[in-house]
């Protein structure tokens, strides 16, 4: 049966892959992101497979715009059945060297923006008889990595928020809340990240294909679960972080410098933290995934 699905963060990476996947199975789509130009591209892709699509330029940090987004979806399609939230930005740098305005905007987008969306989505789903809210977390909501303090703080906060919402929502089993937590993913978010570190970032191999994470999002809609982890090394990293914290802290810095940075120098810049870059929007970031990424990891470690 066709559902009405709102996707926030629909123009790049996991969000774009999820929009395409929902479209392919015939759902009605309401797509939201900051860039009208990039939204037009995704709308064309989804309409090409026969989906009914609306686009609503939206900044998730603006509660009034998120409310307008929900109003539009209900006005056009009667109700919202699914809300998939994937919008996120990233910044590289030592904590004391990231400008305060950049750090706070990452938190504002990745944590407070997710809270804005969750508040609006849950209000609508409860008013219309139920549905599913899927939020996108990260393995960095369970572990830490140097040079990514704002993103890590946001994802830890998001994990805590989702668990709390799940606890508070036990009296409404018709409203399902799911968290999809990927590890390293081949998306453009690394190229688009703010950088005040001096070295460009990349997804530590082996990176997961964004379409695999999108499938996990759709699977949560069909078979809701508290949290789904996507990534070959997620469990190992979480185990090391929890069971051997001292060893983890010794190793994570050198590993991050070896496999989480490219070695390419970059001047300080704010990436897409404050404004979108439509030309950089895509499903993949071009980093490679799966076996290719694992081979790259082994080569990097050997060369070190």
Domains of the chain: 4-303 (3.40.50.720)
Reference 15, options 174, 192, 162; nearest CA is 192
Got the DSSP string for 264-277?
EE---B-TTSSS--
CB 214 within 8 A of CB 196: no
Residue-level pLDDT at 301: 46
Is the C-alpha dihedral spanning 181, 185, 190, 192 positive or negative? negative
Query: pLDDT for 157-167, tens place per residue?
Result: 999 999 999 99
Query: pLDDT for 88-116, tens place per residue?
Result: 999 999 999 999 999 999 999 999 999 99
- Rounded to 10 degrees, the C-alpha dihedral 126/85/1/221 comes to -80
- Options 92, 151, 190, 248, the catalytic residue: 151
Per the annotation, the verdict on 147 as an active-site residue is: no
Query: pLDDT for 125-140, tens place per residue?
Result: 999 999 999 999 999 9
Residue-level pLDDT at 279: 83
CB 89 within 8 A of CB 103: no
Residue-level pLDDT at 290: 59
Stretches in the chain below the pLDDT threshold 50: 297-298, 300-301, 304
Residue-level pLDDT at 1: 73
Helix/strand/coil for 227: strand
Q: How far is CA 78 from CA 19, 70, 134, 298, in A?
A: 20, 11, 20, 52
User: Which positions ≥6 away from 101 have C-beta within 8 Å?
Assistant: none
Query: pLDDT for 52-74, tens place per residue?
Result: 999 999 999 999 999 999 999 99
Residue-level pLDDT at 292: 54
Reference 271, options 201, 197, 196, 194; nearest CA is 194
């Amino acid at each position: 049966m066709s559902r009405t699905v709102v996707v926030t963060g629909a123009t790049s990476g996991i969000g774009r892959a999820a929009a395409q996947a929902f479209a392919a199975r015939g759902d009605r789509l309401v797509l939201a992101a900051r860039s009208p130009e990039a939204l037009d591209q995704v709308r064309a892709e989804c309409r090409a497979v026969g989906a009914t699509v609306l686009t609503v330029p939206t900044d998730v940090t603006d509660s009034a715009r998120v409310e307008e987004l929900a109003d539009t979806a209900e006005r056009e399609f009667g109700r919202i059945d699914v809300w998939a939230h994937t919008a996120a930005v990233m910044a590289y740098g030592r904590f004391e060297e990231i400008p305060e305005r950049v750090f706070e905007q990452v938190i504002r987008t990745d944590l407070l923006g997710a809270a804005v969306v969750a508040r609006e989505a849950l209000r609508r789903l409860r008013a219309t008889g139920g549905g599913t809210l899927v939020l996108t977390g990260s393995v960095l909501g369970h572990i830490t990595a140097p040079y990514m303090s704002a993103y890590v703080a946001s994802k830890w906060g998001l994990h805590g928020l989702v668990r709390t919402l799940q606890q508070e929502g036990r009296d409404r089993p018709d409203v399902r809340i799911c968290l999809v937590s990927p590890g390293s993913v081949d998306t453009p978010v690394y190229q688009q990240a703010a950088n005040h570190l001096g070295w460009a970032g990349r997804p530590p191999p082996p990176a997961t294909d964004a379409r695999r994470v999108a499938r996990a999002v759709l699977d949560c809609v069909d078979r809701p679960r508290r949290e789904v982890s996507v990534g070959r090394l997620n469990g190992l990293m979480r185990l090391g972080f929890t069971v051997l914290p001292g060893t983890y802290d010794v190793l994570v810095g050198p590993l991050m410098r070896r496999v989480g940075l490219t070695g390419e120098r970059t001047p300080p810049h704010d990436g897409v933290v404050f404004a979108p870059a439509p030309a950089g929007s895509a499903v993949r970031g071009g980093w490679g995934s799966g076996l290719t990424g694992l081979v790259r990891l082994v080569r990097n470690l050997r060369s070190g």
